[in-house]
Amino acid sequence: MFLGVDGGGTKTAFALIDGAGQVLARHQDSSAYYIEVGMPGVAAMLERGCAALFAAARVAPSDVEFAFFGLPAHGEDRSALPRLDAMPQAVLGHARYRCGNDMVCSWAGSLACADGISVIAGTGSMAYGEVGGRSARAGGWGELFSDEGSAHWIARAGLQLFSRMSDGRAARGALYPLLRQQLGLQEDLDLCQVVYGDLNEERSRIAALSRLVSAAAAQGDLQAQAIIAAAADELVAMVAAVRHALGVDDGQQVAVSYTGGLFGADGPLPAPFAAALAARSADYLLAPPRLAPVLGAALYAARCAGTPLGAAALDRLADQPPH
């Protein structure tokens, strides 16, 4: 059996599969973003989530052949790595696991561990790819000065646009009344209390405001539409940066896939991203994700164990629902 954990800024998914590609159990829990919930919060969540998963599958931690824990911000703070890397051993009671950035889960799931590039656009954003045994990433430097094209980035741009609309520095479009109504603002400056007070500037709660930008864009707000288009362009730039870092020659076609809430059925990015990618180069083959990131994490665990799943097992996993 192989355990996959796909940690995120908002929620964390757990899955246990066997070598035949059968999903034995799945579970969902809270954030794994240690910068927001703290190291003790992540440790408690992993223990709670694994316990629920093992109970559902009626197995013991010792039954797990190998596990992969994809954790947000893993590898981005050298001083935090020892604590993050040690957490799974306390849960499993053995060292048959590997920790890495959650970008690996998205790549492994969307492309089923095949060569190509996966772009992630959820609470945060980044791109990651593997080609010919080489790997590279771009973006994902955090919400303060990066995470371009993410829900947090879109929300921040939307809040900025609202302030400009309120001041008269920009024409008032659909975003202006929509944000006032949805956030219950009596006065425009009440937004400061909502963002800095009620939401406490929390990354995931700010990111949720991106839905208002998407809604305004759907209502014909040209400035909100420009934010969504800019988000797509930023993500395509990440894909191009990864391609360059991987040393892929011009004219060589590269598979590209995607994950994250902004690419979901109700997300604003599928069509703009596809258009921006096609405009960038004809050397990309865009395909929908084959597996959910959490199943990608379990698939990657099997590969780390030296026992990658075969084609029939991959087909069986692909028949699983996305969540």
**pLDDT tens column, 264-279:** 989 999 999 999 999 9
CA-nearest of 58, 15, 14 to 32 is: 14
- pTM of the shown model: 0.91
Q: Measuring CA to CA, which residue among 246, 245, 254 is closest to residue 284? A: 254
Q: Read off the pLDDT band of 323 (50, 70, 90).
A: low
**CATH superfamily membership of 2-112+291-318:** ATPase, nucleotide binding domain (3.30.420.40)
What letter would DSSP give residue 251? T
Residue 288 pLDDT > 90? yes
135 strand-pairing partners:
130
Predicted confidence band of residue 9 (pLDDT cuts 50, 70, 90): confident
**What is the average pLDDT score of the chain?**
96
Interstrand relation of 97-101 and 134-138 (parallel, antiparallel or unpaired): unpaired
Average pLDDT of span 49-78: 96
Instruction: Give me the residue spans of the domains in the chain.
Output: 2-112+291-318, 114-289
Q: Which CATH number fits domain 114-289: 3.10.20.30, 3.30.1360.180, 3.30.420.40, 3.40.50.300?
A: 3.30.420.40
The reply to whether 114-289 shares the fold of 2-112+291-318 is yes
Report d(CA 100, CA 110) in Å as an integer: 17
Of 3, 272, 2, which is closest to residue 119 (Cα–Cα)?
272
Report helix, strand or coil for 308: coil
Q: Partners of 13 in the beta sheet? A: 6, 28
Instruction: Please give the backbone phi and psi of residue 186, each rounded to the nearest 5 degrees, phi first.
Output: -80, -40
Residues 6+ apart with CB under 8 A from 283: 250, 251, 252, 253, 254
Residue 322's pLDDT is: 61
Taking the alpha carbons at both ends of the chain, their separation in whole angstroms is 20
- Could you report the per-residue pLDDT of 215-262, keeping only the tens digit for each? 999 999 999 999 999 999 999 999 999 999 999 999 999 999 999 999
